[in-house]
Amino acid sequence: MRWKGRRVSANVEDRRGGGGAKAGGISILGLVVAFVAWKFFGVDPQQAYQATKQVTQQASSAETKGLDNPTPDQQEAMQFVGTVLADTEDTWNEIFKQQLNAQYTPPKLVMFNGVVNSGCGTAQAAMGPFYCPADQKVYIDTAFFKDMRTQMGISGEQNKTELSRDDQAGDFAQAYVVAHEVGHHIQTLLGISQQVQQARAKATKVQGNQLSVRQELQADCFAGIWANHNNARTQFLEAGDVEEAMDAAHKIGDDYLQKSATGQVVPDSFTHGTSQQRMKWFDIGLKSGRIESCDTFNQSI
Protein backbone atom coordinates (compact mmCIF):
# COMPACT_ATOMS: atom_id res chain seq x y z
CA MET A 1 0.00 0.00 0.00
CA ARG A 2 1.34 3.43 -0.98
CA TRP A 3 0.63 5.91 1.79
CA LYS A 4 3.65 8.15 2.32
CA GLY A 5 3.70 11.73 1.07
CA ARG A 6 -0.02 12.45 1.35
CA ARG A 7 -1.88 14.75 3.72
CA VAL A 8 -1.95 13.81 7.42
CA SER A 9 -5.21 14.50 9.27
CA ALA A 10 -5.32 17.05 12.08
CA ASN A 11 -8.15 15.06 13.67
CA VAL A 12 -5.90 12.59 15.52
CA GLU A 13 -5.66 12.77 19.32
CA ASP A 14 -2.57 11.14 20.77
CA ARG A 15 -3.31 9.78 24.25
CA ARG A 16 -0.60 7.13 24.22
CA GLY A 17 1.23 8.85 27.07
CA GLY A 18 -1.80 9.14 29.33
CA GLY A 19 -1.25 5.92 31.26
CA GLY A 20 -4.88 4.90 31.49
CA ALA A 21 -8.50 5.94 31.38
CA LYS A 22 -9.49 9.22 32.96
CA ALA A 23 -12.77 11.09 32.80
CA GLY A 24 -12.96 14.76 31.95
CA GLY A 25 -14.82 17.15 34.27
CA ILE A 26 -17.01 15.61 36.95
CA SER A 27 -18.50 12.21 36.28
CA ILE A 28 -21.51 10.35 37.65
CA LEU A 29 -18.98 8.33 39.63
CA GLY A 30 -17.68 11.56 41.16
CA LEU A 31 -21.17 12.51 42.28
CA VAL A 32 -21.64 9.07 43.82
CA VAL A 33 -18.32 9.41 45.68
CA ALA A 34 -19.40 12.80 47.02
CA PHE A 35 -22.74 11.39 48.18
CA VAL A 36 -21.10 8.43 49.92
CA ALA A 37 -18.59 10.72 51.63
CA TRP A 38 -21.44 12.80 53.00
CA LYS A 39 -23.81 9.95 53.90
CA PHE A 40 -21.36 7.63 55.65
CA PHE A 41 -18.42 9.77 56.70
CA GLY A 42 -20.00 13.15 57.43
CA VAL A 43 -17.87 14.98 54.88
CA ASP A 44 -19.33 18.19 53.43
CA PRO A 45 -20.75 17.00 50.06
CA GLN A 46 -19.70 20.23 48.35
CA GLN A 47 -16.11 19.74 49.52
CA ALA A 48 -16.16 16.11 48.41
CA TYR A 49 -17.61 17.14 45.04
CA GLN A 50 -14.93 19.79 44.47
CA ALA A 51 -12.15 17.42 45.51
CA THR A 52 -13.40 14.72 43.15
CA LYS A 53 -13.79 17.25 40.36
CA GLN A 54 -10.23 18.48 40.85
CA VAL A 55 -8.85 14.93 40.72
CA THR A 56 -10.77 14.02 37.58
CA GLN A 57 -9.76 17.25 35.86
CA GLN A 58 -6.10 16.56 36.66
CA ALA A 59 -6.53 13.02 35.38
CA SER A 60 -8.18 14.29 32.21
CA SER A 61 -5.15 16.49 31.56
CA ALA A 62 -2.90 13.45 31.92
CA GLU A 63 -4.99 11.39 29.53
CA THR A 64 -4.71 13.80 26.62
CA LYS A 65 -0.93 13.81 26.89
CA GLY A 66 1.00 12.25 24.02
CA LEU A 67 4.28 10.37 24.21
CA ASP A 68 7.18 12.41 25.58
CA ASN A 69 9.88 10.72 23.52
CA PRO A 70 8.21 8.68 20.79
CA THR A 71 10.35 6.14 18.99
CA PRO A 72 10.65 6.31 15.19
CA ASP A 73 8.12 3.46 14.97
CA GLN A 74 5.68 5.32 17.22
CA GLN A 75 6.09 8.50 15.21
CA GLU A 76 5.48 6.59 12.02
CA ALA A 77 2.43 4.97 13.57
CA MET A 78 0.96 8.43 14.03
CA GLN A 79 1.86 9.36 10.45
CA PHE A 80 0.29 6.19 9.07
CA VAL A 81 -2.95 6.45 11.03
CA GLY A 82 -3.16 10.18 10.30
CA THR A 83 -2.68 9.59 6.57
CA VAL A 84 -5.33 6.86 6.44
CA LEU A 85 -7.74 9.07 8.38
CA ALA A 86 -7.04 11.97 5.99
CA ASP A 87 -7.75 9.61 3.09
CA THR A 88 -11.14 8.74 4.61
CA GLU A 89 -11.88 12.45 5.09
CA ASP A 90 -11.06 13.41 1.52
CA THR A 91 -12.79 10.37 0.06
CA TRP A 92 -16.01 10.53 2.07
CA ASN A 93 -16.22 14.27 1.52
CA GLU A 94 -16.33 13.54 -2.23
CA ILE A 95 -18.80 10.67 -1.84
CA PHE A 96 -21.20 12.69 0.32
CA LYS A 97 -21.21 15.53 -2.22
CA GLN A 98 -21.58 13.29 -5.27
CA GLN A 99 -23.96 10.63 -3.96
CA LEU A 100 -25.89 12.38 -1.18
CA ASN A 101 -25.54 16.08 -2.00
CA ALA A 102 -24.54 16.56 1.64
CA GLN A 103 -21.61 17.82 3.71
CA TYR A 104 -19.40 15.23 5.39
CA THR A 105 -18.35 15.82 9.00
CA PRO A 106 -15.28 13.71 9.85
CA PRO A 107 -14.73 11.91 13.16
CA LYS A 108 -11.71 12.32 15.41
CA LEU A 109 -9.40 9.37 15.97
CA VAL A 110 -7.89 8.69 19.41
CA MET A 111 -4.67 6.69 19.72
CA PHE A 112 -4.21 5.20 23.18
CA ASN A 113 -2.33 2.60 25.19
CA GLY A 114 -4.05 -0.08 27.26
CA VAL A 115 -7.16 1.66 28.60
CA VAL A 116 -9.07 4.76 27.54
CA ASN A 117 -12.09 6.76 28.59
CA SER A 118 -14.56 7.52 25.82
CA GLY A 119 -18.02 9.00 25.51
CA CYS A 120 -19.26 5.41 25.58
CA GLY A 121 -17.42 4.54 28.81
CA THR A 122 -14.08 3.05 29.74
CA ALA A 123 -12.60 0.64 27.21
CA GLN A 124 -9.62 -1.69 27.21
CA ALA A 125 -7.30 -2.54 24.35
CA ALA A 126 -8.56 -6.15 24.46
CA MET A 127 -11.84 -4.89 22.98
CA GLY A 128 -10.02 -3.92 19.81
CA PRO A 129 -10.60 -0.72 17.81
CA PHE A 130 -14.06 0.79 18.23
CA TYR A 131 -16.20 3.77 17.29
CA CYS A 132 -18.20 5.69 19.89
CA PRO A 133 -21.29 7.43 18.44
CA ALA A 134 -21.73 9.48 21.64
CA ASP A 135 -18.58 11.52 20.98
CA GLN A 136 -18.13 10.57 17.30
CA LYS A 137 -14.58 9.34 17.80
CA VAL A 138 -12.67 6.27 16.64
CA TYR A 139 -10.47 4.66 19.33
CA ILE A 140 -7.43 2.55 18.46
CA ASP A 141 -4.72 1.05 20.63
CA THR A 142 -2.01 0.74 18.01
CA ALA A 143 -0.63 -2.37 19.72
CA PHE A 144 -3.70 -4.03 18.19
CA PHE A 145 -2.08 -3.72 14.79
CA LYS A 146 0.97 -5.62 15.92
CA ASP A 147 -1.26 -8.39 17.28
CA MET A 148 -3.26 -8.36 14.07
CA ARG A 149 -0.17 -8.68 11.89
CA THR A 150 1.15 -11.52 14.05
CA GLN A 151 -2.15 -13.40 14.00
CA MET A 152 -2.36 -13.01 10.22
CA GLY A 153 0.72 -15.24 10.06
CA ILE A 154 3.00 -12.79 8.25
CA SER A 155 6.57 -14.03 8.51
CA GLY A 156 8.83 -12.07 10.83
CA GLU A 157 6.05 -9.96 12.30
CA GLN A 158 6.55 -11.34 15.81
CA ASN A 159 9.64 -9.16 16.12
CA LYS A 160 8.00 -5.94 14.95
CA THR A 161 7.04 -3.10 17.25
CA GLU A 162 3.69 -1.38 17.06
CA LEU A 163 2.74 -0.46 13.54
CA SER A 164 6.28 -0.93 12.25
CA ARG A 165 6.48 0.24 8.66
CA ASP A 166 8.93 -1.23 6.21
CA ASP A 167 6.64 -1.30 3.17
CA GLN A 168 5.78 -4.80 4.32
CA ALA A 169 2.56 -6.73 4.12
CA GLY A 170 -0.13 -5.66 6.55
CA ASP A 171 -0.49 -1.96 5.74
CA PHE A 172 -3.75 -2.22 3.84
CA ALA A 173 -5.25 -4.68 6.31
CA GLN A 174 -4.62 -2.09 9.01
CA ALA A 175 -6.07 0.68 6.86
CA TYR A 176 -9.15 -1.51 6.34
CA VAL A 177 -9.65 -1.63 10.13
CA VAL A 178 -9.54 2.17 10.35
CA ALA A 179 -11.91 2.48 7.37
CA HIS A 180 -14.32 -0.01 9.00
CA GLU A 181 -14.53 2.11 12.16
CA VAL A 182 -15.03 5.24 10.06
CA GLY A 183 -17.82 3.25 8.39
CA HIS A 184 -19.62 3.25 11.75
CA HIS A 185 -19.27 7.04 11.78
CA ILE A 186 -20.95 7.14 8.36
CA GLN A 187 -23.80 5.11 9.86
CA THR A 188 -24.15 7.68 12.64
CA LEU A 189 -24.21 10.57 10.17
CA LEU A 190 -26.87 8.79 8.09
CA GLY A 191 -29.03 7.99 11.13
CA ILE A 192 -28.56 4.24 10.72
CA SER A 193 -26.88 3.68 14.09
CA GLN A 194 -29.73 5.41 15.89
CA GLN A 195 -32.32 3.23 14.11
CA VAL A 196 -30.41 0.07 15.00
CA GLN A 197 -30.15 1.13 18.63
CA GLN A 198 -33.90 1.73 18.81
CA ALA A 199 -34.67 -1.60 17.15
CA ARG A 200 -32.30 -3.50 19.46
CA ALA A 201 -34.01 -2.00 22.52
CA LYS A 202 -37.21 -3.79 21.49
CA ALA A 203 -35.60 -7.01 20.26
CA THR A 204 -34.59 -10.28 21.89
CA LYS A 205 -30.90 -10.93 22.48
CA VAL A 206 -30.66 -13.14 19.37
CA GLN A 207 -32.50 -10.57 17.25
CA GLY A 208 -30.26 -7.84 18.65
CA ASN A 209 -27.18 -9.84 17.68
CA GLN A 210 -28.55 -10.25 14.15
CA LEU A 211 -29.04 -6.49 13.87
CA SER A 212 -25.49 -5.97 15.11
CA VAL A 213 -24.19 -8.35 12.42
CA ARG A 214 -25.96 -6.39 9.70
CA GLN A 215 -24.59 -3.13 11.07
CA GLU A 216 -21.03 -4.49 11.14
CA LEU A 217 -21.29 -5.91 7.63
CA GLN A 218 -22.47 -2.55 6.36
CA ALA A 219 -19.40 -0.93 7.92
CA ASP A 220 -17.29 -3.52 6.05
CA CYS A 221 -19.08 -2.53 2.85
CA PHE A 222 -18.44 1.15 3.54
CA ALA A 223 -14.75 0.32 4.03
CA GLY A 224 -14.83 -1.24 0.56
CA ILE A 225 -16.42 1.91 -0.88
CA TRP A 226 -13.61 3.96 0.66
CA ALA A 227 -10.98 1.69 -0.90
CA ASN A 228 -12.67 1.99 -4.30
CA HIS A 229 -12.78 5.79 -4.33
CA ASN A 230 -9.48 6.35 -2.58
CA ASN A 231 -7.70 4.19 -5.14
CA ALA A 232 -9.29 6.14 -7.97
CA ARG A 233 -8.09 9.33 -6.28
CA THR A 234 -4.59 8.32 -5.15
CA GLN A 235 -3.74 4.93 -6.79
CA PHE A 236 -2.64 3.74 -3.35
CA LEU A 237 -3.36 0.03 -3.84
CA GLU A 238 -0.54 -2.36 -4.72
CA ALA A 239 -0.53 -5.98 -5.81
CA GLY A 240 -1.77 -8.21 -3.00
CA ASP A 241 -3.41 -5.43 -0.97
CA VAL A 242 -7.00 -6.51 -1.61
CA GLU A 243 -6.14 -10.14 -0.81
CA GLU A 244 -4.52 -8.89 2.38
CA ALA A 245 -7.71 -7.11 3.45
CA MET A 246 -9.76 -10.19 2.56
CA ASP A 247 -7.50 -12.29 4.73
CA ALA A 248 -7.97 -9.84 7.59
CA ALA A 249 -11.76 -9.92 7.12
CA HIS A 250 -11.63 -13.71 7.14
CA LYS A 251 -9.64 -13.85 10.36
CA ILE A 252 -11.92 -11.47 12.27
CA GLY A 253 -15.11 -13.31 11.36
CA ASP A 254 -17.16 -14.51 14.33
CA ASP A 255 -17.00 -18.14 13.24
CA TYR A 256 -13.23 -18.06 12.77
CA LEU A 257 -12.61 -16.36 16.12
CA GLN A 258 -14.97 -18.64 18.04
CA LYS A 259 -13.56 -21.81 16.52
CA SER A 260 -10.00 -20.64 17.18
CA ALA A 261 -10.79 -19.81 20.80
CA THR A 262 -13.11 -22.65 21.85
CA GLY A 263 -13.30 -25.12 18.98
CA GLN A 264 -17.04 -24.44 18.75
CA VAL A 265 -19.22 -22.07 16.73
CA VAL A 266 -22.46 -20.57 18.10
CA PRO A 267 -24.22 -18.66 15.29
CA ASP A 268 -26.85 -17.05 17.56
CA SER A 269 -24.05 -15.31 19.44
CA PHE A 270 -22.50 -13.75 16.32
CA THR A 271 -22.27 -9.94 16.47
CA HIS A 272 -20.00 -9.11 13.51
CA GLY A 273 -20.68 -11.73 10.85
CA THR A 274 -18.94 -14.80 9.54
CA SER A 275 -15.65 -14.68 7.69
CA GLN A 276 -17.47 -15.30 4.41
CA GLN A 277 -19.97 -12.52 5.08
CA ARG A 278 -17.30 -10.00 6.02
CA MET A 279 -15.28 -10.73 2.88
CA LYS A 280 -18.45 -10.64 0.75
CA TRP A 281 -19.59 -7.20 1.91
CA PHE A 282 -16.16 -5.60 1.78
CA ASP A 283 -15.95 -6.85 -1.81
CA ILE A 284 -19.41 -5.50 -2.66
CA GLY A 285 -18.38 -2.01 -1.52
CA LEU A 286 -15.01 -2.28 -3.25
CA LYS A 287 -16.56 -3.21 -6.60
CA SER A 288 -19.59 -0.91 -6.55
CA GLY A 289 -18.35 2.24 -4.83
CA ARG A 290 -21.98 3.12 -4.14
CA ILE A 291 -23.65 3.66 -0.75
CA GLU A 292 -26.93 2.12 -1.87
CA SER A 293 -25.21 -1.17 -2.61
CA CYS A 294 -24.43 -1.54 1.12
CA ASP A 295 -28.02 -1.94 2.35
CA THR A 296 -27.35 -4.98 4.51
CA PHE A 297 -30.62 -4.48 6.39
CA ASN A 298 -32.86 -5.18 3.41
CA GLN A 299 -30.80 -7.78 1.57
CA SER A 300 -29.79 -11.35 2.22
CA ILE A 301 -26.42 -11.29 3.93
Cα 15–chain centre separation: 15
Per DSSP, the three-state class of 285 is helix
Q: What is the distance between the alpha carbons of residues 28 and 34, in angstroms, rounded to a whole number?
A: 10
State the number of CA atoms in the 13 A half-sphere of 11 facing the CB: 20
Q: pLDDT higher for 135 or 255? A: 135
Residue 290 clears pLDDT 70, i.e. is over it: yes
pTM over 0.85: no
224-267 pLDDT tens trace: 999 999 999 999 999 888 988 888 888 888 888 888 888 888 88
Residue-level pLDDT at 156: 35
User: Residue 155 burial (CB < 10 Å; 0-12/13-18/19+)?
Assistant: exposed
Residue 46 three-state SS: helix
Quick check: 292 pLDDT over 90? yes
Q: For residue 78, which of 36, 112, 103, 51 has the smallest C-alpha distance?
A: 112
pLDDT tens per residue, range 108-133: 999 998 888 999 998 887 778 999 99
Mean pLDDT score, 165-184: 80
More confident residue, 270 or 127: 270
Q: Where are the domains of the chain?
A: 12-16+68-294, 28-63
- In sequence order, the β-bridge partners of residue 18 are none
pLDDT of residue 247: 85
pLDDT for position 65? 56
Q: Give the distance, in angstroms, between the CA of residue 96 and the centroid of all CA atoms in the same chain.
A: 21
